[in-house]
Amino acid sequence: MWCQRLAWLLRGSSGRRWPRSVAALARGHHTAPRSLRCAWQLHGDHLELTYGNTLMRLDFVWLRDHCRSASCYNAKTNQRSLDTASVDLAIRPQAVRVDESTLFLTWPDGHVTRYGLEWLVKNSYEGQKKQVMHPRILWNAEIYRQAQVPSVDCRSFLETDEGLKEFLQNFLLYGIAFVENVAPTKEDTEILAERISIIRETIYGRMWYFTSDFSRGDTAYTKLALDRHTDTTYFQEPCGIQVFHCLKHEGTGGRTLLVDGFHAAEQVLRRAPEHFELLSRVPLKHEYVENVGGCHNHMIGVGPVLNVYPWNNELYLIRYNNYDRAVINTVPHDVVRRWYHAHRALTTELRRPENELWVKLKPGKALFVDNWRVLHGREAFTGYRQLCGCYLTRDDVLNTARLLGLQA
């Protein structure tokens, strides 16, 4: 029966038959030496390949398009040379062969494509579903304190790859990292930031001073407490990393609140997966309208609260800011109430006291925050308090990490 069904698939709805060599291959399952745990089987439009514990379904056009031969791929530039639009969308291999480590495909024009089996496991859809793009350690306050994550000395950070790598590893795993013994000036903070990234200039400038003078139309420029939030949710792409450095505080209060948004979202997923799914599917508008002094801005960003990679459901961005969330007018009424329930579930997790890490920023200690993951806030304060900081481009930070051999 299996052979009859496959023969029908090989003929296709048009009645066209495959080349005899392919039809011959399709008469049964094909298995490499038993020690390899490898077997393959042809279907109408794809190759089914099992290697190790991974069952892969590899489309024939995909297999031709990703050929790494010298004529199809430039190994010096790591770029595709093959014109994908030139590949016949009905292409099928004339011959298939597997040895101990490699899949060989011969195409109708005689071109031979070779794939390492390990490469296929890593790069197939089925392989990617099993992989984590960004390894992380989710934390609450107790977990973070017990980890005793060290700060990195400023000189080591600036002058050695070892210090920079240690800092980036901490940052990638926890979403926050500290640098100690930084000269308490905006200029030295700028040098620090540029060690890992290009500074992202925004409507707030390149490097900014931050006081309670209400010089900008934002609650942050007051002495009031700030609830946990992520910044620039009203950008189409929220800023990736934020740098804080307290230059001076003559008064009381003003501790910084940090909450791992991914840890909170994980609790929602575990307790009410339907809430997690809704928060990852409903698009919302966030808006920033400013008319203060010479500053006139109207920014709008759109996206769900939780953003996940669709192939493995891995969370990569949380967009949470109750101050800047605009009118909810992007979903029908029967979804709105369910969204409020889901939002309440996430807010409950974010506000659990055990998830709150409170730190006192002081001159000389710079804080880097992953704005796509960790929410920050502030308790009310008295007296004069001045911070400086900036936003960094996420791509450049991750690029620096990868060049140092880290998974990012």
pLDDT tens digits for range 161-199: 999 999 999 999 999 999 999 999 999 999 999 999 999
Please answer whether residues 124 and 130 qualify as being in contact, where contact means their C-beta atoms are separated by less than 8 angstroms: no
For residue 110, tell me if it sits in a domain. Answer: yes
| Cβ neighbours of residue 13 closer than 8 Å, sequence gap 6 or more | none
For residue 331, tell me if it sits in a domain. Answer: yes
Please answer whether residues 10 and 24 qualify as being in contact, where contact means their C-beta atoms are separated by less than 8 angstroms: no
Q: Note the pLDDT of residue 401.
A: 97
Please answer whether residues 369 and 172 qualify as being in contact, where contact means their C-beta atoms are separated by less than 8 angstroms: no
Q: Note the pLDDT of residue 221.
A: 67
Q: Note the pLDDT of residue 92.
A: 97
Residue 28 CA to chain centroid, in angstroms? Answer: 42
Q: Note the pLDDT of residue 209.
A: 86
For residue 18, tell me if it sits in a domain. Answer: no
Write down the residue that tokens 């066209």 correspond to. 16
Q: Which domain holds residue 375?
A: 132-407
Instruction: Note whether 141 and 116 are same-domain residues.
Output: no
For residue 27, tell me if it sits in a domain. Answer: no
Q: pTM here?
A: 0.86
Q: How many domains does the chain have?
A: 2
Phi then psi for 50, rounded to 5 degrees?
-110, 125
Instruction: Note whether 97 and 234 are same-domain residues.
Output: no
Instruction: Note whether 92 and 149 are same-domain residues.
Output: no
For position 101, which CATH number holds?
3.30.2020.30
Q: Note the pLDDT of residue 218.
A: 56
For residue 29, tell me if it sits in a domain. Answer: no
Instruction: Note whether 290 and 389 are same-domain residues.
Output: yes
Instruction: Note whether 68 and 148 are same-domain residues.
Output: no
Instruction: Note whether 66 and 203 are same-domain residues.
Output: no
Please answer whether residues 179 and 366 qualify as being in contact, where contact means their C-beta atoms are separated by less than 8 angstroms: yes
pLDDT tens digits for range 230-273: 999 999 999 999 999 999 998 898 899 999 999 999 999 999 99
Instruction: Note whether 138 and 287 are same-domain residues.
Output: yes
Q: 81, 108, 126 — which closes off a domain?
A: 126
Please answer whether residues 239 and 391 qualify as being in contact, where contact means their C-beta atoms are separated by less than 8 angstroms: yes
Instruction: Note whether 315 and 192 are same-domain residues.
Output: yes
Instruction: Note whether 206 and 190 are same-domain residues.
Output: yes
Nearest to 325 by CA among 291, 357, 282: 282
Name the stretches of the chain with pLDDT < 50.
Answer: 1-28, 33-35, 214, 216
Q: 126, 159, 181 — which closes off a domain?
A: 126
For residue 254, tell me if it sits in a domain. Answer: yes
Phi then psi for 2, rounded to 5 degrees?
-60, -45
CA distances from 229 to 71, 401, 402 (A): 50, 26, 28
Task: Give the sheet arrangement for strand 46-51, strand by strand.
Answer: 30-31, 38-42, 46-51, 54-59
Instruction: Note whether 214 and 356 are same-domain residues.
Output: yes
Q: 126, 155, 187 — which closes off a domain?
A: 126
Instruction: Note whether 122 and 210 are same-domain residues.
Output: no
For position 183, which CATH number holds?
3.60.130.10
Instruction: Note whether 122 and 136 are same-domain residues.
Output: no
For residue 60, tell me if it sits in a domain. Answer: yes
For residue 220, tell me if it sits in a domain. Answer: yes
